[in-house]
Amino acid sequence: MKTDFDFPNKYLVGPVVFRPDFNAQAEVLDINQAWSLFFTAGQEDKVLGFNTEAGQFFTNLLLAIATAGILWASLFNNVV
């Protein structure tokens, strides 16, 4: 059996945040790359694609959960 499965780059299997080509870029991460790295534990930065609506949704969801938690704590802290 012959396979053509070859890894020419030794960093191909490791997490994307430790790859030299990822760290060498001087550009800032966009919102989708940040959430992709969070959800995949640093393994891949393009899971959510290039449409920024998914990243904005997760950011707004996180802000809504934090706001609801703060309101819940402040309202029900005075009741007890």
pLDDT in tens, 22-48: 767 666 788 888 898 888 888 888 888
- Overall residue count recorded for the chain in this entry: 80
> Given a cut of 70, is residue 2 above it in pLDDT?
no
- What's the pTM value of the predicted model, to 2 decimals? 0.66
- The mean per-residue pLDDT over the stretch 6-34 comes to 71
Q: Give the contacts of 21 (CB within 8 A, at least 6 positions apart).
A: 11
Q: Which range, 2-16, 20-34, 54-68, has the best average confidence (pLDDT)?
A: 54-68
The reported pLDDT for the residue numbered 6 is 59
In the chain, the amino acid numbered 43 is Q
